[in-house]
Structure 1
């Protein structure tokens, strides 16, 4: 067995030395620095927003994201957004971020926010959507059903809380991606 191993090393080592070193696999056309700046701006905007219904602080709706399946606007471990994976292949992570951005853009444009529109948030989301360039098969969930007037404040609060969490992770991804390039 040892002679066979040595023979393989002798035959394969020169070929391995000729291979180019591993290079990061950036998503084509994504401006990481601009995405970092916009995601940080979005995070600051969300941090300074005052809830129109302060009594909703700490209220959580259970199980609503699970109904959206794979289009859920959250970044999972399986989306490969950790720094070591981002350095070699950022495509899966950027796809998930794109899905989340599309989801929040749809929700912010829905009747849930009809009485309290969020033009600044929508503008930043639009800019980010224009910057994230990755081959993508759309996974847009259907728009949220019309919300009763009494439910809108709760749905607004829940959406903004989830967007804050999503933005925190997205910001970390873009900060790492911008510093690595």
Structure 2
């Protein structure tokens, strides 16, 4: 009788135990950055910025600078890990900085500074590049630009486009390295 009880206990025990949890589904792989498309768009952006004509001839020779580095727009710095050796192993920090810079310049182009001088091809290229980089590295907040005085718009446009040109030059180098076959 004792073996029969043990058998009965062994057969009923699984019914008393909680069911094992279903295995958690594997997380979907993060979208991968399309480096070749980023390289193509960053080159196009650089080309567009360089070919823009300054509407006020006197500003062509002007080099504006700010004394307060805290107010500078996002720049690609050494600490952003955009160097080739780091990009090959971990590009998250670099792409996040590139996204911040692109978003900043896109916001500038949509601000009152450029109301009288829309640059639709530049804006469209920036939007396409933002969409590619945003897949993995988007930031939820956007900064709105404070209104500026109308008399300052040409100077602010000049400064913004100068900085955008510098930013796109470095960004293009990052994307060119990352898109090259290894």
Does the TM-score normalized on the shorter chain lie above 0.5? yes
Displacement, 1:53? Answer: 1.4
Query: 2:65 — aligned with what?
Result: 61
Alignment of 1:79 with 2:80, yes or no, is: yes
Query: 2:40 — aligned with what?
Result: 37
TM-score by length of 2: 0.77
Displacement, 1:64? Answer: 5.6
* Cα distance, 1:79–1:180 mapped onto 2, change above 3 Å: farther
* Cα distance, 1:37–1:178 mapped onto 2, change above 3 Å: same
Query: 1:106 — aligned with what?
Result: 107
Q: Per-residue CA shift, 1:152-180, capped at 9, x if unaligned?
A: 00000000000000000000000001014
4+ residue runs over 6 A deviation: none
Rounded Cα–Cα distance in structure 2 between residues aligned with 1:47 and 1:135: 27
Secondary structure, in 3 states, of the residue corresponding to 2:148? coil
Secondary structure, in 3 states, of the residue corresponding to 2:163? helix
Displacement, 1:56? Answer: 1.5
Alignment of 1:48 with 2:40, yes or no, is: no
Q: Per-residue CA shift, 1:11-35, capped at 9, x if unaligned?
A: xxxxxxxxxxxxxxxx842100000
Secondary structure, in 3 states, of the residue corresponding to 1:104? helix
* Cα distance, 1:65–1:108 mapped onto 2, change above 3 Å: farther
Number of residue pairs aligned between Structure 1 and Structure 2: 151
* Cα distance, 1:134–1:105 mapped onto 2, change above 3 Å: same
| Aligned residues of 2:82 and 2:174 also touching (Cα < 8 A) | yes
Rounded Cα–Cα distance in structure 2 between residues aligned with 1:154 and 1:110: 14
Displacement, 1:59? Answer: 2.5
TM-score by length of 1: 0.77
Rounded Cα–Cα distance in structure 1 between residues aligned with 2:88 and 2:141: 25
Secondary structure, in 3 states, of the residue corresponding to 2:126? helix
